[in-house]
């Protein structure tokens, strides 16, 4: 498997009671500070409702789904920044002042090893947190439930180092406690780099419990006292090192038994065969063993973990997205004709596709129209829409905007297609901001409609916001692929 088990066991066990040596870390202590993020702010419930398309089920990204006590949604703010919105259940955080103080404190942190907290909402019974959105899923997904390729050894070592650096940064900033550190708390950004979720820096619930996972993975002192300490975080870090080494979620007691019995073949992921030396395996097991010491005072701190993990790094010149096998935004995307048209800003081609599609994607709209046609006001509204459709067909953008606006302003019926058509009409009239607003509104009405994302991309390209446009383009491509798969 790429390392000699007997030698690995012997080296690991003989050195288990030694210190984790501190090596010189060439990076500055305040490395990875980020300044391009907005300052922490407070949001209203309505702002977050709009950003998540009404807390749509389709936008849930947390592992436990709609019935979980605290659900995480993906969302998009007015400025098109993608965010993760954590919505607590109504019994959590009864003390609004405590919630705001905690959130503001965590919101002061800014580091590219963290999925940073951008804001919160404390309105009535609602308690929500808003963080950077990480598009490439969790460590648990890539480690335990991979589909295309197992995580490479070099990437596992990078995850360990980046996580240690995140904890070191938080410690230096006075946030020494992290609640329920596990593989679901480590996320991957658009570049494939691992980030530590800021949500774990906040207490989990009303009773202040710090661990919700299986008791077999809980630090022994927490079981005794019910309190989390900095040393408890180190214990959890040790369990993560075991996850990285084994590719499975092995209880620490079982892993330590395997180490004592020198049965490390059972501990090491068979997918890693040939990828690492026995010396590297020895060192990683030694560090994990130190973190899992029963006595908290015998565990290392975050700074010494960084120093110990830094020399182990492999393939440092290879970017994370390459090691992970994930594509960056806008890279190697397979685009449909509509996606290609939006990428090229070919408004004629976009118009042709939208005209051909018609109103097929307006679920239930036709039925609603037929029921309400008997009123004079509704008849006038439908006439406005028909005139708008005729103008759109003949590429009379100005008339289409005017007629569709009359239809929308009445507010009786909601049609994502009308917003999409008016969006393109605005693009044809060199009004990209108005086009973007309509494309966003179309997605609010229909959260998984790929055309809304594509039109956002076209509008963002017109506004010169290349990076945001590429993100929207990728989102549209993913949604379209899902729709085609389901149909």
**Residues labelled catalytic:** 180
* C-alpha Rg value of the chain to the nearest Å: 26
Question: Can you tell me the distance from the alpha carbon of 440 to that of 428, in angstroms, rounded to the nearest whole number?
Answer: 17
Dihedral (Cα; 23, 106, 295, 208), 10-degree rounding:
-170
Q: 127: burial class by Cβ within 10 Å (0-12, 13-18, 19+)?
A: buried
Phi, psi (deg, nearest 5) at residue 83 = -135, 160
Question: Pick from 8, 153, 6, 136: which is nearest to 84 by CA?
Answer: 136
H-state helical runs in 68-152? 96-107, 139-144
Smallest CA-to-CA distance from 392 within 356, 366, 363 is with 356
Using DSSP bridges, classify how beta strands 194-197 and 114-115 pair: parallel, antiparallel or unpaired. Answer: parallel
* CA–CA gap between residue 433 and residue 435 (Å, rounded): 5
Q: Token digits for 389? A: 């459709």
End-to-end CA distance of the chain: 43
**Which residues lie closer than 8 Å to 201 by C-beta, 6 or more apart?**
106, 109, 117, 170, 175, 177, 178, 179
Contacts of 125 (CB under 8 A, 6+ apart): 90
Q: Is 126 helix (H, G, I), strand (E, B) or coil?
A: strand
Q: What's the rounded Cα separation, in Å, for the pair 275 and 35?
A: 37
Q: What are 361's two structure tokens?
A: 């994607």
Please, which residues have CB within 8 angstroms of residue 239's CB and are 6 or more apart in sequence?
182, 217, 252, 292
Say which residues have a Cβ less than 8 Å from residue 378's Cβ, sequence separation at least 6: 372, 412
What does the CA dihedral 104, 106, 110, 111 come to, rounded to 10 degrees? Answer: -170
């Amino acid at each position: 498997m790429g390392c000699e088990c007997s030698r690995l066991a012997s080296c690991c066990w003989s050195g288990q009671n030694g210190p984790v040596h501190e090596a010189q870390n060439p990076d500055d202590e305040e490395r990875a500070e980020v300044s391009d993020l907005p300052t922490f702010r407070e949001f209203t419930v309505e702002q977050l409702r709009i950003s998540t398309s009404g807390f749509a089920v389709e936008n849930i990204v947390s592992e436990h789904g709609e019935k979980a006590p605290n659900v995480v949604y993906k969302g998009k703010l007015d400025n098109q920044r993608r965010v993760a919105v954590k919505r607590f259940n109504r019994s959590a955080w009864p003390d609004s002042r405590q919630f705001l103080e905690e959130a503001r404190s965590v919101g002061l942190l800014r580091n590219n090893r963290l999925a940073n907290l951008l804001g919160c909402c404390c309105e009535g019974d609602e308690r929500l947190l808003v963080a950077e959105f990480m598009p490439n899923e969790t460590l648990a997904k890539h480690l335990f439930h991979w589909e295309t390729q197992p995580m490479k050894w070099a990437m596992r070592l990078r995850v360990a180092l980046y996580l240690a650096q995140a904890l070191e940064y938080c410690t230096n900033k006075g946030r020494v406690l992290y609640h329920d550190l596990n593989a679901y708390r480590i996320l991957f950004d658009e570049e494939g780099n691992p980030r530590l979720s800021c949500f774990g820096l906040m207490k989990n619930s009303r009773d202040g419990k710090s661990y919700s996972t299986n008791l077999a993975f809980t630090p022994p002192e927490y079981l005794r006292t019910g309190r989390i300490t900095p040393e408890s975080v180190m214990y959890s870090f040790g369990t993560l090192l075991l996850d990285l080494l084994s590719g499975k979620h092995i209880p620490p007691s079982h892993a330590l038994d395997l180490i004592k019995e020198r049965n490390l073949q059972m501990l090491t992921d068979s997918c890693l065969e040939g990828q690492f030396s026995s010396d590297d395996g020895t060192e990683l097991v030694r560090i994990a063993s130190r973190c899992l010491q029963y006595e908290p005072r015998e565990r290392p701190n975050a700074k010494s973990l960084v120093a110990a993990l830094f020399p182990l790094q492999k393939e440092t010149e290879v970017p994370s997205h390459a090691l992970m096998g994930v594509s960056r935004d806008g890279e190697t995307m397979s685009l449909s004709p509509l996606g290609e048209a939006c990428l090229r800003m070919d408004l004629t081609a976009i118009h042709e596709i939208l005209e051909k599609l018609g109103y097929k994607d307006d679920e239930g709209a036709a039925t609603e129209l037929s029921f309400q046609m008997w009123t004079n006001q509704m008849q006038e509204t439908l006439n406005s829409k028909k005139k708008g459709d005729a103008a759109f067909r003949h590429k009379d953008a100005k008339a289409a905007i005017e007629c569709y606006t009359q239809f929308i302003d009445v507010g009786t019926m909601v049609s994502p297609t009308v917003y999409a058509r008016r969006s393109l009409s605005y693009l044809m009239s060199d009004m990209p901001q108005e086009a973007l607003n309509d494309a966003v509104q179309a997605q609010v009405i229909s959260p998984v409609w790929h055309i809304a994302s594509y039109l956002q991309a076209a509008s963002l390209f017109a506004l010169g916001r290349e990076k945001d446009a590429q993100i929207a383009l990728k989102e549209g491509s993913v949604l379209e692929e899902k729709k085609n798969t389901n149909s």
